[in-house]
Amino acid sequence: MKKKGRKMPSNTQSYTHISVVMIVKNESQSIKKCLDSVAWADEIVVLDTGSTDDTPKICSAMGAKVFYLDKWDGFGKARQKAVSLASNDWVFSLDADEIVSPGLQKLILHLQHSGFGDCAYRVKVQSYYLGKRIRYCGWQNEWHTRLFNRQDGNFNSEAVHESIVCSKPICKLPGTLHHYTYPTTAIHKAKMTLYGDLGANKLHSKGKASNPIKALMRGSFTFFKMYFLKAGFLDGRHGFNLCKTTAWGTWYKYMVLWKLKES
């Protein structure tokens, strides 16, 4: 991939190489902008989990190393696999609907030249829903660990809502990662269905139970928390749709859990 905006240090021994790692599936509409925002990376590793569109072809044409997942065992294990495929120990985890801001890029390049230190880094995530920036709904203070040394940590094995577990301290990197999540309500509902199925199976494996009343109460509380307690109403129509569909996803998860227990 063509490198943009990087000046190699005079003392190349002080330079630390970094790999961007991603898991993707049918991301042809967003992947180009995502890859453009990390064109500065020494390596981009893309693990395709079953695309039926041109996603792998686009990634390969833009210089990424494309691999294919043999078996789907959930998000955590897929991300672990992507990390293991990197050539460098320092990795930056990225999703296909995310874009690294110029400010965050500058900070990471500075760390590459000056040293990453003995910690991992979390970055601020600025999310957009149906194309509009969401300032409330509980999305206003999102910080996620994305930059770490795989010798010190990795993703856990959770099938859904996976996270990075690291033996080193977690430091804040004050750059911004733009997350263009859910361009349509149909895509949002489809993702909630996937998460609901995975989440219900996870709860079922732990012996948890549900029923229609519990599902309704859980879904209602999700809406109340996001829309009122987290001030989602201040995001207008987009905030309402976000809270409503997310609440539906919670209801769906506990309904699936109930059916699993009944079967």
Tell me, what CATH number does 140's domain have? 3.90.550.10
pTM over 0.75: yes
Whole domain around residue 29: which residue ranges? 12-181
Whether 7 shows a pLDDT value over 60: the answer reads no
Whole-number pLDDT of residue 14: 83
Over range 232-251, report the average pLDDT: 98
Domain assignment of residue 242, yes or no? yes
**Are residues 133 and 70 part of one domain?**
yes
**Are residues 60 and 130 part of one domain?**
yes
- CA-CA distance, 200 to 22, in Å (whole number)? 25
Domain assignment of residue 38, yes or no? yes
Last residue of a domain, one of 148, 181, 214: 181
**Are residues 97 and 73 part of one domain?**
yes
**Are residues 209 and 176 part of one domain?**
no
Per the CB < 8 A criterion, the answer to whether 128 and 179 are in contact is: yes
- CA-CA distance, 206 to 209, in Å (whole number)? 9
CA distances for 1 relative to 40, 100, 197, angstroms? 8, 16, 37
Domain assignment of residue 1, yes or no? no
Domain assignment of residue 5, yes or no? no
pLDDT-derived band at 262, boundaries 50, 70, 90: confident
Neighbours of 68 (CB within 10 A): 11
Whether 56 shows a pLDDT value over 70: the answer reads yes
Q: Return the DSSP state at 226.
A: I
Whether 84 shows a pLDDT value over 90: the answer reads yes
Domain assignment of residue 6, yes or no? no
**Are residues 158 and 228 part of one domain?**
no
Structure tokens, 114: 């000056």
Strand stretches in 94-223, DSSP E: 98-100, 120-129, 132-133, 143-149, 153-155, 164-166, 170-181
**Are residues 155 and 47 part of one domain?**
yes
Per the CB < 8 A criterion, the answer to whether 94 and 34 are in contact is: yes
Give the three-class secondary structure for 210. Answer: coil
**Are residues 156 and 214 part of one domain?**
no
**Are residues 155 and 57 part of one domain?**
yes
Over range 97-123, report the average pLDDT: 97
**Are residues 190 and 177 part of one domain?**
no
**Are residues 110 and 49 part of one domain?**
yes
Per the CB < 8 A criterion, the answer to whether 48 and 66 are in contact is: yes
| Dihedral, 28, 34, 36, 40 alpha carbons, nearest 10 | -140
Over range 215-238, report the average pLDDT: 98
Question: Which among 95, 34, 27 is positioned nearest to 57, based on CA atoms?
Answer: 27
- CA-CA distance, 83 to 98, in Å (whole number)? 18
**Are residues 111 and 30 part of one domain?**
yes
Domain assignment of residue 2, yes or no? no
Strand stretches in 13-119, DSSP E: 18-24, 43-48, 65-68, 90-93, 98-100
Give the three-class secondary structure for 104. Answer: helix
**Are residues 98 and 26 part of one domain?**
yes
Whether 9 shows a pLDDT value over 70: the answer reads no
CA distances for 127 relative to 45, 97, 143, 152, angstroms? 24, 10, 11, 28
Whether 2 shows a pLDDT value over 60: the answer reads no
Last residue of a domain, one of 116, 148, 181: 181
Domain assignment of residue 82, yes or no? yes
Number of domains within the chain = 2
Domain assignment of residue 4, yes or no? no
How many residues would you count in the chain? 263
